[in-house]
Amino acid sequence: MSDSSYEVFDDPYCYKNTFVLKNRANLRDARRLQAFELEISSLRAEEPLPDGRFGPAHYKAVHRHLFGDVYAWAGKYRTVRTAKGGNVFCYPEHIDAQMRSLFPKLRHRSFAGSASQRDFLRAAALFLAELNAIHAFREGNGRAQLAFMRLLSVRANHPFDFTKLRPKAFLAAMIESFNGETRPLEAELKRLL
């Protein structure tokens, strides 16, 4: 989405004097850009997602795959500070270090194909909560997170079915996870199995 719901100041990602993100189609209307972005990223999500080693580079490749036709900076960490709903995301100068700290957690046995559903769900909720708090990209974090979680769930033999996703409940659970409460997110992920 390219609107003012994100709190950013002096945003070099936007066209001057607007909240519209600079884009490859040179769309200057926020609604048209939002529709274009949704259409393109949805089509790209139906394609096979990039293979990788489940590290930061793999995650960046997934974002680039989904949004590379829309934004020149797709797959690159954001360089501006941003917040949403009063929640401040990781400062850009710390994103790389936080990502390098987070992704080794995917080597834990909870993400192995032999882990119980309960262990996987608990670990997946914690991982997703941290990944969301980092909010590595200027736009498209939620869709990249879900696409990556789909890959991760298949690898762990607990595949998620995102057609079951309840957007409002999932968003509420993500907001609670930002505040340290991951049980609602775990419950929403369980619904997707």
pLDDT of residue 6: 57
Query: pTM of the full predicted structure?
Result: 0.93
CA dihedral sign of residues 49, 172, 135, 99 = negative
Q: Average of pLDDT values for 22-43?
A: 97
Task: Report pLDDT digits (tens) over 138-192.
Answer: 999 999 999 999 999 999 999 999 999 999 999 999 999 999 999 999 999 999 9
Q: Which domains does the chain have, with CATH numbers?
A: 6-191 (1.10.3290.10)
Q: Report the side by side order of strands in the sheet with 83-84.
A: 6-7, 83-84, 87-88
117 Cβ contact list (under 8 Å, min separation 6) = 158, 190, 193
pLDDT of residue 2: 45
Query: What SS3 state is found at 88?
Result: strand
Please identify which residue in the block is written with the tokens 């036709």: 69
pLDDT in tens, 102-133: 999 999 999 998 999 999 999 999 999 999 99
pLDDT (mean) for 86-95:
95
- Structure tokens that stand for 129 in this block: 């909560």
